[in-house]
Structure 1
Amino acid sequence: MRMAGCVLLVLFCVIAASGRCAADSLDRIVAVVNGEIILYSELQERLQLVQKSLPETRTNDPARKAAIERELLQQMTREKLTEQEAKRLKITVTKKDVDEAIAFVMADHNVSQAQMEARLKESGQSMEEFRKVLTKDLERDRLLERVLKSKILISEKQIDAFLSQSPPEVRVEPRGKEEYRLGIIFLPASDGAEGKQAEKRAREIREKLKAGEDFAAMARQYSKGPAAQDGGDVGFVSLDELAPFIAKNVKDLKINQPSDVVKGGDGYYIFLVTDVRRAEMQAAQNSPATNMRERARRQLYQQEMARRFDEWIKDLESRSFVKISL
C-alpha cells in the first residue's frame, strides 16, 4: 500500500466554478475509451494539477506543452481502461477499506491527522480529494493483485544481487535522525490584489511575532492551515518528510525563532520550531540488516510489478477501442 502523494499526478479534482462555463464553451472530446469519453477540460484540469506539483512542467513552448498533454492523455486513457477492468471483475472498495488505508499510511509514516492534512495541502489536495484518489488507488492495487501478484516472486538471490550492486548509502541504515516539533501559520493567497493582501498580513504577523506575540495565539487567530485550532502545532516531523521548500526554511531555525515569511504552494507560511529530538531505530528484532533486506524486497517487487503492469496495460490497450483526438 502506498500514499498516493506523494502523489504527483492527482486524480478526480473538482473544477473551480468560476472556470466551468468558459471550459464548457471550448470543450471537446479528446479520447474515447471503449465508449467512455475524456474531455479536453478534464485534460486541462490534470495539466494544471501537474504544473502545480511540478513547476518545471509549466511552459510557454507550444510543442513542449503539446507533448506533455499527449503524455497525460495516455495516462488518463490507461486509468480509464484500468477502472473499466476493475468494474468488469467486480472489484470494490468500501469506506472502511479507505479508513484503514489512511490509518495505515499515518502509522507507516508516523504522522498525525494534522500532519497528514498539512502534507496534502502542500500538494494542493483536501482530505476528501485524497480519499477519492486512495479509493481508485486501492481498486487498482486489488485489480493488479488479482491479475499479476500471483506471477511475481522475489527470491533471496535477487535480493542478494540487488544489495551487492547498491551504493553504500543505500545499504547502511542511519542510527537515527533529527525530528522537529513544528508550528505552522498559513495564509492562502491567489494572484493579484488578494495575494498582495495576504503577503502584507503575513508580514504583519511576522513583525508581531518578532515583538514577542505568542505564536500559538496568532495561529489560532489567523492561520488557515493544518492544526490551526491547536496553535499550528503539527507535532514532530523529520526534514525528509517535509516539502523541500519547507525543509529548507526549517532546518536552520533556532528553537522558538519564527521563520521569515515564506511563499510556497498557494499561499504564505511562517514556521516555528519548538523542540528538536533524535528519533532512534525500532526494536532490536527489526535489525538494520532485516530492515535493509525488506526494503530491497519491496523495491524489487515494485519494479517487477511496474514492468508487468506495463505489459498488461499494453495488452489491454490492444484488445480495446481507444481513439485519441488531440
Structure 2
Amino acid sequence: MRKGKMLKLLTLIFFFLLNITIVPVEPAQLIDRIIAVVNGEIITQRQLVREMSLIRRDWEFQDEKKLRDIALERMINEYILLQEAKREKITVSSQEVEKVLSDIKGDLSDEVFQEMLEKEDLSLEEFKERIKRRLLRERLIAQKLREMDDKVKIEKEEIRDFYLKLKRYLKGDEKAQEEIKRFCRIYRENLKGTDENEGEVSLERIQDKIESFLRRRKKEKLLQSWMEKLRSQAEIEIKTGGEESG
C-alpha cells in the first residue's frame, strides 16, 4: 500500500476509534477564549471548533447555532464523566494506553505513524491523552452498568406483554411501539422462519432475547437518569461572550 493511501486509512482509524478531529487554526486567526467552565475546568473556543467539525462531518447541519449547542453539550457531558471517573478512582495505566496505541498503529512504521500525527497537528502525548480519556469514560460507564445489574428485574408478565405486541407487529400492526421495531431490527435473524401467513414465532424461541432486550432498555434508562443527576449536580457556567484564556 502506498504511503498516501496508508495515511488516509490511518486518518479514518483515528476518527472512528477516538472520535477526534483536528482543525488547524493559526494563532493569529483565532484568539482562544473560554466558552464554558465545568466544575472548575474550562472548555475553550479551539476545543469547541474541533468538536463542531467532528459533528459536522457525521451529520449535515444547516443551523450553525444548533451545531454549536450540540457540540458544547457533548463536551460538557464528557467533562462531567471524566470528573466522575476521577471521583470514583477509576484509572487507566500507561501500559493500557500503550496497548491501545499499538493496536491502532498496527504494522505501520514509526516514521509513517509520526508523519500521520504531524499531518493532524497532533503530538504523540496528546494522542495518548485522548486514548486515556476514552478508556476512562468507557470504564466508568461499564462500572455503572454492572452496578445496575441487581437493580434491573424483568418479570414474566413483561416478557409476555412484549411478546404479544411483537406478534401483532409481525402480523402487520403499524401502530407498534418504536421499541418493538427496534427489537426486530436487532434480532431480525432470530425472527426468520416464522409462519408468514400467521406472523407467529413461539415465545419459547425468543423469550431469552426479549428478556435481554428489556434488561438492556431498563439499564439504558437508568444510565440516562444517572447522567442527568450528575449534570444537575455539576457547576456549569456558559460564557456567552467568551473570555480570553491564558
TM-score (ref. length: structure 1): 0.43
Q: Which has the higher helix share?
A: 2
**Aligned partner of residue 20 in structure 1, secondary structure:** coil
**Aligned partner of residue 93 in structure 1, secondary structure:** coil
Q: What amino acid does structure 1 have at the position aligned with 2:187?
A: V
Return the offset for 1:174: 11
Structure 2: distance between partners of 1:6 and 1:23: 29
Structure 2: distance between partners of 1:46 and 1:133: 13
1:31 aligned to 2:36?
yes
| Structure 2 counterparts to residues 220-239 of structure 1, below 5 A | none
Specify the alignment match of 1:313 in structure 2.
Answer: 227
| Structure 2 counterparts to residues 50-129 of structure 1, below 5 A | 50-54=55-59, 56-57=60-61, 59=62, 64-98=63-97, 113=106
Whose RCO is larger (CA < 8 A, sep 6+)?
2
Q: What amino acid does structure 1 have at the position aligned with 2:230?
A: L
Return the offset for 1:53: 3.0
Structure 2: distance between partners of 1:23 and 1:37: 21
Q: Which runs of 5+ in 1 are unaligned?
A: 107-111, 115-120, 176-288
Of the candidates 22, 27, 39, which is equivalent to residue 21 of structure 1?
27
Specify the alignment match of 1:139 in structure 2.
Answer: 136
Q: What amino acid does structure 1 have at the position aligned with 2:80?
A: L
Structure 2: distance between partners of 1:169 and 1:66: 34
CA contact (8 A) 1:4 1:137 kept: no
Structure 2: distance between partners of 1:30 and 1:44: 11
**CA distance change for structure 1 residues 168 and 148 in 2, over 3 Å: closer, same or farther?**
closer
Return the offset for 1:38: 0.6
Structure 2: distance between partners of 1:293 and 1:101: 34
Structure 1: distance between partners of 2:27 and 2:35: 18
Q: Which has the higher strand share?
A: 1
Return the offset for 1:65: 0.9
Of the candidates 223, 239, 242, which is equivalent to residue 325 of structure 1?
239
1:167 aligned to 2:184?
yes
Structure 2: distance between partners of 1:154 and 1:132: 38
Q: What amino acid does structure 2 have at the position aligned with 1:321?
A: E
CA contact (8 A) 2:34 2:44 kept: yes
Return the offset for 1:4: 10
Q: Which runs of 5+ in 2 are unaligned?
A: 1-12, 108-115, 167-179, 193-204, 241-246
Specify the alignment match of 2:19 in structure 1.
Answer: 10
Specify the alignment match of 1:151 in structure 2.
Answer: 148
Provide Cα deviations, 1:137-169, integer angstroms capped at 9, x if missing partner.
331232234445222346485677479444388
Q: What amino acid does structure 2 have at the position aligned with 1:39?
A: T
Specify the alignment match of 1:48 in structure 2.
Answer: 53
Percent identity over the alignment is 25
Structure 2: distance between partners of 1:325 and 1:170: 46
Provide Cα deviations, 1:162-219, integer angstroms capped at 9, x if missing partner.
79444388332599xxxxxxxxxxxxxxxxxxxxxxxxxxxxxxxxxxxxxxxxxxxx
How many aligned positions are there? Answer: 183
Structure 2: distance between partners of 1:174 and 1:23: 57
**Aligned partner of residue 84 in structure 2, secondary structure:** helix
TM-score (ref. length: structure 2): 0.55
CA contact (8 A) 2:184 2:191 kept: no
Structure 2: distance between partners of 1:168 and 1:323: 41
Structure 2: distance between partners of 1:97 and 1:293: 35
**Aligned partner of residue 51 in structure 1, secondary structure:** helix
Provide Cα deviations, 1:46-95, integer angstroms capped at 9, x if missing partner.
111222233x13x3xxxx21111112111111111111111122211124
Structure 2: distance between partners of 1:320 and 1:81: 7
Structure 2: distance between partners of 1:142 and 1:91: 7
